Amino acid sequence: MSSRNTIEKIIEGIKHSLILFMVAVTLASFAIGIFLVFFTNLGGDISWSQNVSLDFLLINIFGFQSPQFNLGITFLFFLSVYLICYLYCLIYPHSILRQNIFRKWNLIRTKRLQEQKSVRPEQNSNLLIIAISWFSGYFLLSVIIDTIQQLFGVTLGNPLTENALLSFFYLSAAPLNEEILFRVLLLGVPLLLIFSPIKKGNFVLFLNHPYKFLAPNKTRYTIMCISIVIVINSVIFGMSHVFFGGGYEVGKITQAALGGLVLAWIYYRYGLATAIVFHWISNFVFFAYSILGFYLFGTPWNTETDSIFLSAISIGFIIIGILFLYQLTTKILKKYVVN
């Protein structure tokens, strides 16, 4: 038993160190994004001072005419929203700095409280650590899915335009747009309508974090209904990327549906801000470093395999994903099989 505990501590230590590195990587991407948009000529004839159409998935689905907005101002708006969500996850429910400085004391305290059944394990977890951990697990699985699909000639496609600046802008705006549509409107609202008799409180707070309102009344019926809604939501999310996303091929359905499943769970369990940060990492962070590699070294900006920065970041996320999925699988087996 002691050797197993030692192994688990080593795994947790490695994962935790890599997560802290990814915190630095993701935080630096804010500055990188501003530099790329406002201080480079990536867009050629298109610059941050020009007006562009908001060609979003939400607009494409409902057939609305795309409005024109200033690229730079709109980019800063979305970046500000992501920064607010990021900082919220960084400090809630416990600051990630405090959690690491007093990590040993926190583990001892949490273990005692768990034994007294006065706190759940995730209540002592930082939301940014949760977002990075779940994203890493998803990223690992998506790489595996893509590899298997390519063996059978099924590809993901490429939604990027020929302009690096426009591609970065649209990918940067997508997380907020898609989380409002798919998580709030197509997941939160249905849950609100289904469970409105047991909901007590402000509907805005419910849509921000459904779990807080549904957990006290959790039954087999609520678990079944929530699971069905989440699965349906993830399937719609996956299919919409092919039918309305533009440039994606059928192979994207599987990968996007998996991402939708994880995002739906995170939104329900940990709140909208955590889901937005997860989605932001997938779009903004990866593409910011991809374009930075293109700007500094001339590596292709529209492919992941040839990017110096993306290769290093991807390896980090894959290692975290392996460790996280191992811990998650062990936890599930202990809860439902061993016991």
pLDDT at residue 1 tops 60: no
Residues in the chain: 339
Answer yes or no: is 306 within a domain: yes
**Is the residue at 106 inside a domain?**
no
Report the C-alpha gap between 280 and 317 in whole angstroms. 15
Mean pLDDT of all residues in 1-5: 69
Burial of 85 (0-12, 13-18, 19+ CB in 10 A): buried
- Strand 51-53 relative to strand 68-70, pairing: antiparallel
pLDDT at residue 249 greater than cutoff 70: yes
pTM (2 d.p.):
0.90
What does the radius of gyration of the chain's CA atoms come to, in whole angstroms? 21
Q: How confident is the model at residue 158 (pLDDT cuts 50, 70, 90)?
A: confident
C-alpha span between 56 and 78 (Å, rounded): 13
Q: Please indicate, yes or no, if residue 118 is contained in any of the structural domains.
A: no
326 vs 123: which has the higher pLDDT: 326
Please, are residues 188 and 209 in contact by the beta-carbon 8 Å criterion? no
Mean pLDDT of the chain: 86
Query: Helix H segments across 152-270?
Result: 164-178, 189-194, 203-208, 210-214, 220-243, 251-270
Q: Tell me whether residue 261 is in a domain.
A: yes
The pLDDT value recorded for residue 58 is: 57
Position 108 scores a pLDDT of: 47
- pLDDT, tens digit, 9 for 90 and up, residues 319-335: 999 999 999 999 998 88
Give the rounded percent of residues in the chain with a pLDDT score beyond 90.
58
336 against 266, higher pLDDT: 266
Number of other residues whose CB lies within 10 A of the CB of residue 303? 12
Residues spanned by the domain of 139:
17-92+126-338
Model confidence at 304, in pLDDT bands (50, 70, 90)? low
Q: Is residue 119 part of a domain?
A: no
The helix/strand/coil state of 53 is strand
pLDDT at 122 over 90: no
**Is 136 part of any domain?**
yes
> How is residue 257 written in tokens?
């549906």
Report yes or no: 121 and 151 within 8 Å, Cβ to Cβ.
Answer: no
Name the phi and psi angles at 248, rounded to 5. Answer: -80, 150
Q: Per residue in 16-67, pLDDT tens?
A: 999 999 999 999 999 999 999 999 999 889 999 999 887 665 555 556 667 7
Count of domains observed in the chain: 1
Q: Is the pLDDT of residue 226 over 70?
A: yes
DSSP 185-201: IIIIHHHHHHSGGG--S
Taking the C-alpha atoms of residue 247 and residue 256, their distance in angstroms, rounded to an integer, is 14
Q: 68 by DSSP, 3-state: which?
A: strand
Please check whether residue 68 lies inside any domain of the structure.
yes
Cβ partners under 8 Å of residue 205, min gap 6: 212, 213
Q: Does 157 reside within a domain?
A: yes
